[in-house]
Amino acid sequence: MRKCLLSLLLLIAFTLFFVQNTFANSKVHFEGGANNFVFYSDSDWADTDLFGGLKNTMPGDVRTENITIKNIADDYDYVKIYLRAEPTTEEIKDFLAHFTLNIYKDNELISSTSAAEQGSLETNVLLGTFANGDEVLLTTELLAPLTLENKYMYVSGEIQWVFTAEAYKDGKIIPPDTGTITNSNEYSTGTIVGVCLTATVLVIAYASYLFQSKKTD
């Protein structure tokens, strides 16, 4: 009996070992002028990859990326910043459909859907009205199911976000013919990588070993 209880506790601990909650941080700054949006990524994949913390996902993982959106342009009274998601390609929909992607704005849930879908980001979502120095925190939370299969080992899927800015001066949008691009669209690519390895297989094998051991006791 004690052997079975100890084995069960080891099995639970082994399973929980694969359930992670990882946090990472990226930044998006609206600078105005020729630069418009500038991305500060913590990802090794690309300068515009805002999902550095969503890599090497294991079955059962909950991974989190914090993205700070900030207006550092001082040429305007305020700036309105919007976000939308582009449709994913058919080639990666099967992979991304296994994940749930939650997006929070300062702890308020603004989107919760399959990572393969645009959800509430199908059209531009206003992230806020930003005076110089104002910022907002976006938190992306990726949930991977325990049933994620080994066939997705090292498979990756890209999600494209488009940031749009409207810059205002004296209550009016600065027109494009002034030389300042105000309604600028900037793409940011987030990449999700699934690494299933053999977590599920190992758990099944270990459970089978326990069953055989019990029979021989």
Question: Residue ranges of the domains in the chain?
Answer: 18-216
- pLDDT at residue 4 tops 50: no
> What CATH class does 18-216 carry?
mainly beta
pLDDT in tens, 86-107: 998 888 899 999 999 999 999 9
Q: How confident is the model at residue 52 (pLDDT cuts 50, 70, 90)?
A: confident
Copy the structure tokens of residue 43.
């990802």
pLDDT in tens, 146-204: 988 888 888 888 899 988 888 899 988 875 444 444 444 566 677 777 664 443 343 44
Looking at every residue in the chain, the average pLDDT score rounds to 77
Query: pLDDT > 90: what percent of the chain?
Result: 37
pLDDT in tens, 111-122: 999 999 999 999
Q: Give the least confident one: 18-27, 52-61, 126-135.
A: 18-27
Neighbours of 120 (CB within 10 A): 15
Copy the structure tokens of residue 77.
């009274």
Copy the structure tokens of residue 134.
């104002």
pTM, rounded to two decimals: 0.75
CA distance 92 to 199: 23
- pLDDT at residue 213 tops 60: no
Beta-strand (E) ranges in 2-124? 21-32, 36-40, 62-71, 78-85, 100-105, 108-114
